[in-house]
Amino acid sequence: MRLELVKNRHTTLIIYLPTYLPTCLPACLPACLPVCLPACPPACLPACLPACLPDYLTTYLPTYLPTYLLTYLPTYLPTYLPTYSALWEKGREREGEKRREGERERREREREVEERERERERERERREREEREREERERGEEGERGRKREKRERQERGEERERERERESRERERAERERELERRAREREREREERGREEKRTRREREERERERERERGERETERAERERRERERERESQRSLVAQSGDGDIDDVTDNLGMGILTMSQTDPTDPPQQFIDCLMKPSHGTSCAVLVDSRITHVLHPTSDLLQVANIGKKALANNVDPDETPHDALFA
């Protein structure tokens, strides 16, 4: 209770004192301002207050403010506190009355809303009842027609079920045909793939056989070339042996690089083209050129396209001029 009193007193000082202080100040102002305000009528207060306010602020306020705070405030505050408390209680009562009035209005509105809701519910039930009565009345009036309609509807439903069964049967047949077509298409596709794989295998085997034949042909060509090379080698060996029998010469470089035939011209009979030279030119295995030897020395390299008489003249000229084989240009040997 004491705490509540202190709380109410503080609430009074904080809330109601600033509100009602202008009302109680005129009662204590004459005591605080005995010179300025009593001599100034209320009508003249706005005019004379600025004149005496500086004097009040500098002289009377410092003098009388401590007296007011220490004497008049403790004296008159207990007198006004009950009044402020009563006013505060009245304010609380008015606030409570307002709340109760608002609560009553809210409950009244809720009752009105509930009443309207109940009215709508009663209206809805009435409409439903009227609808049921109307339907019963119509069923009573249309009983026979309803039975006929139900019979007709049953017949229509039976016919519809029959049509549905027929449609399902057709759908099943169509699905079966489609599955059969798909199965045949898959079989054809498998057969086509099988034929493609068979063709690929056949083509691969044929290519393998072709490569094998090509390899065998290459081997035969290699063997034939090897035989020809060995044949030419034997021919060159034979020619080298012939050169070795007739004397020294530098025919090896020519025969090794060009595969030439060898023609030896005797210095004793240089006038006629020897038959050996003609045989040399006519042999295809001797290559594209023939070498002219004079006393086992190479003097000229002659091509098969040369005229035989020109060849004979070259040989006779070489013998007549007594050509030194060491002075013969080697480039002429490979022309």
Mean pLDDT of 75-89: 70
Q: Which of residues 69, 103, 137 is at a domain's end?
A: 103
Structural domain boundaries, residue 289: 248-333
Q: By mean pLDDT, which of 10-14, 19-23, 236-240 is the weakest?
A: 10-14
Give a yes or no: residue 266 inside a domain: yes
Give a yes or no: residue 83 inside a domain: yes
Which position has the higher pLDDT, 36 or 63? 63
Q: Which of residues 58, 73, 103 is at a domain's end?
A: 103
Q: How far apart are CA 59 and CA 244, in angstroms?
A: 164
Give a yes or no: residue 275 inside a domain: yes
Q: What is the CA radius of gyration of the chain?
A: 74
Whether the CB-CB separation of 72 and 47 falls below 8 Å is answered with no
Q: Which of residues 103, 127, 152 is at a domain's end?
A: 103
pLDDT at 90 over 70: yes
Give a yes or no: residue 129 inside a domain: no
Give a yes or no: residue 261 inside a domain: yes
Predicted confidence (pLDDT) per residue in 35-52, tens digit: 455 555 555 556 556 665
| pLDDT for res 28 | 45
DSSP 283: -
Give a yes or no: residue 115 inside a domain: no
Give a yes or no: residue 10 inside a domain: yes
Which has the closest alpha carbon to 268: 295, 303, 288, 231? 295
| b/e sequence 276-303, b meaning 16+ C-beta within 10 Å | ebeebbeeeebbebbbbbbebbbbbbbe
| pLDDT for res 249 | 40
What is the bridge-based pairing of β-strands 261-265 and 290-294? parallel
Give a yes or no: residue 197 inside a domain: no
Number of structural domains (the chain) is 2
Q: How many CA atoms lie within 13 A of 176 on its CB side?
A: 6
pLDDT band, residue 291 (cuts 50/70/90): low
